[in-house]
Structure 1
């Protein structure tokens, strides 16, 4: 742990001059020996291109190793990996791989991952289009007070996609999302005539 703290001192210039090369060297040594915190830190260096050439594939590799060991920080980065795959940010766009990463995040209980699994099912990105499964995943996200999951679940109810058409239930979900400031939900409520 002392080596990890020393790497942090080099990274942040605490008590010594910042030296990303030394920090990376220390983090890499610890990461290769299986320390999840060092794996996440090394992944961040590659993600940001700080002290090394920006390389999303290396970032993904290190975040994945941390996540595979149960690291909460590594798990949080799983959603980021899915977004990179979905958008082709720094790596090749691959909706099948994006769906896999969103699913990993969703299975960990991440409400944003759950929402993105719903998006994939709704539009058929990386998986066969299935409105019922989309609505199920949106509900999991919405039940955790994720305003985007609430918005999209409201849309499903308003349009009878994967659930029975039910405008009152749609309004309920739109209102929960709007209460968190979601402009799209406010727009839907205005269009339905239920705002404010």
Structure 2
């Protein structure tokens, strides 16, 4: 009864059951067949669903042109969701130069529109995450690292569990594969041959198991090549790989080499980790002084990890003159950016909340 052509919405929901494995075995091909029969009759919900199947390569060969064609049919009927899917894809095409001239400015404006106006649980967080990178690197807009980091940090959610810790600060952990994470990984792969940032993000996905199975060795290989090309965020990450044995053998000297390379380019995360390395050398007063100096450089760029450790230095007199008021100031800056250990230090000092 549900597949009766006189009951189009029942047929649409049945297609969704096949697509999402609800009450029946998953069958993308059957879902596409049902969606297409409805899309050909001009039903916008089915046109959008069919467009997504073409975009994701589910039940059909992946075909972005066909996806945009079906999205356009729904958009012509007033579907804002479909229009924003087109804008989202055009953002990626502009970013990687896929069928159009490469333009960071166009990519930025497309993603900004999606981030601001979409409510889609897949494309909205991806667009917002990429906006964070654009601000952080100054691509398509004026460079504003703090704004970019804040966007990446606050965009993290259960559906898109890739925030500052996992993306910029080197904390690797297995992440559930969600529709948004899988789509993000696929789009980054699409741009791998044309855009260094896409390659870097593929490596981040692989190191975290974000949208794809974990592959630390492959991730480390990508990071190291990009590090040799001079990209400071990749230099920081390969330093972390050698420090913790992520896809490579632990090698402290190689780790310090790459962290120092990142730090010398002004990378605040590299400066933060070089500070650690100074303390690990000996714990002497001279080492503490150098550590505090690196954490100050990191802190002055708004890095919440560097700010917390600079607070520790002032709280204990490590490499600087002990000053509780200054310690509280740095802890508060870090805490305002959500650093939990900074909050604990303020509580210990009776300064939180």
Q: Same fold (TM over 0.5)?
A: yes
Please name the residue that 2:342 is paired with.
185
Distance in 1 (alpha carbons) for counterparts of 2:224 and 2:244: 19
Runs of 5+ unmatched residues, structure 2 = 1-55, 65-188
Q: Which of 299, 316, 324 pairs up with 1:159?
A: 316
Counterparts in 2 of 1:1-196, with a 5 A limit?
Answer: 14-15=62-63, 37=196, 40=199, 44=203, 54=215, 56=217, 59-70=219-230, 74-124=231-281, 130-196=287-353
Contact 2:292 2:320 in 1 (8 A): yes
Count of aligned pairs: 164
1:65 shift after superposition: 3.8
1:139 shift after superposition: 0.5
1:91 shift after superposition: 1.5
1:182 shift after superposition: 1.2
C-alpha change, 1:195 and 1:55, in structure 2 (3 Å) is: closer
Distance in 2 (alpha carbons) for counterparts of 1:164 and 1:146: 22
1:55 shift after superposition: 6.3
Runs of 5+ unmatched residues, structure 1 = 1-11, 17-23
Distance in 2 (alpha carbons) for counterparts of 1:44 and 1:195: 38
Distance in 2 (alpha carbons) for counterparts of 1:69 and 1:195: 44
Moved over 3 A (4+): 35-41, 47-51, 58-70
Provide the alpha-carbon RMSD of the alignment.
3.4
Normalising by structure 2, report the TM-score: 0.40
Distance in 1 (alpha carbons) for counterparts of 2:341 and 2:256: 24
Name the SS of the counterpart of 1:130 in structure 2.
helix
Contact 1:39 1:66 in 2 (8 A): no
Distance in 2 (alpha carbons) for counterparts of 1:62 and 1:179: 34
Deviations 1:101-122 (A, max 9, x none): 1111111211111100001112
1:67 shift after superposition: 3.6
Distance in 1 (alpha carbons) for counterparts of 2:349 and 2:198: 49
Contact 1:63 1:78 in 2 (8 A): yes
1:169 shift after superposition: 0.6
Distance in 1 (alpha carbons) for counterparts of 2:348 and 2:203: 43
Normalising by structure 1, report the TM-score: 0.68
C-alpha change, 1:83 and 1:163, in structure 2 (3 Å) is: same
Contact 1:39 1:63 in 2 (8 A): no
1:162 shift after superposition: 0.6
